[in-house]
Amino acid sequence: MKNISILGCGWLGLPLASHFCNKGFEVKGSTTSADKFSQIQEVGAQAYLVDLPHSFEVGFLKDADIIIINIPPQTRKKGKDFHKACIEQIIPHIASNTKIIYVSATSVYPDLNQPIDESIPVDKDSERAQALWQAENLLKENCPDQTCILRFGGLLGYDRIPGKYFAGKEVDTPDERVNYIHRDDAIGIISRLVEDKFDVDIYNGVAPLHPTKKEVYLNNAEQFKFDDPIFEPKANQLKNRYIDSQKVVSKLGYSFIYPDPLRFHYTK
């Protein structure tokens, strides 16, 4: 596979494009704004304007060996059916020999107080979960032998520091475990699928260790001199809930660069 199309070149997609360009792949990257063309071109990729579901540039998928779909559902801004409409617009343009990696999220899962692996049914109440699940199903139904689904946890690293967002703020679930993944590992898992082990399956992408929110936020506060959060624990915390990512290790043979969220690499 030498030709990759990355739908959505934002915080994850742009460094992903850079990663594959540096490995010698022919990369096309999409954006919804022509103002971002230069950013995509600077990493060595071809830039395309793709504003789903309103318009689609057919050349974006021409000769693509693989498409990585990395666009947010935007349920809060655009409603629960927006993401489904975007995926419906893409599907007719995907060739039968093009592999698909769909970047989903662990927010598809319900709030169960237990370990959660890929076999757990999706949340039936959350609009965001339903939007992601509808997209997953559309791809599996229309491209059943081509689609791999990655459900990533909270994407962090570099300028995304969890303790920054809660500095001086009240946190009522300090004893719940985090389900984070460093951006380098998200890129690493995608790269593993593209270069070595493409697989038609569903994978959770989350760091295998799960410290508590309190541990992570205080660690960040000490490291970067943030204000400590204000911890006001509520009674019904989901202390036993965490996302199990063992499958990505056992089946894909992936080794995490940052297995412990307490040791993620950041750039303030």
Amino acid letter, 189: I
Distance CA(65)–CA(27), nearest Å, equals 10
Q: How far is CA 47 from CA 79, 196, 251, in A?
A: 28, 26, 34
> What would the mean pLDDT of 210-227 be, rounded to a whole number?
98
Is the distance from CB of 148 to CB of 203 less than 8 angstroms? yes
pTM above threshold 0.85: yes
Split at pLDDT 50, 70, 90, the class of 197 is: confident
For 27-66, write each residue's pLDDT tens digit.
999 999 999 999 999 999 999 999 999 889 989 999 999 9
Please tell me what DSSP assigns to residue 198.
-
For 110-129, write each residue's pLDDT tens digit.
999 999 999 999 998 899 99
For 222-255, write each residue's pLDDT tens digit.
999 999 999 999 999 999 999 999 999 999 999 9
The pLDDT value recorded for residue 58 is: 87
Structural domains of the chain sorted by starting position, each given as residue range(s) with its CATH number in brackets: 72-156+180-208+241-263 (3.40.50.720)
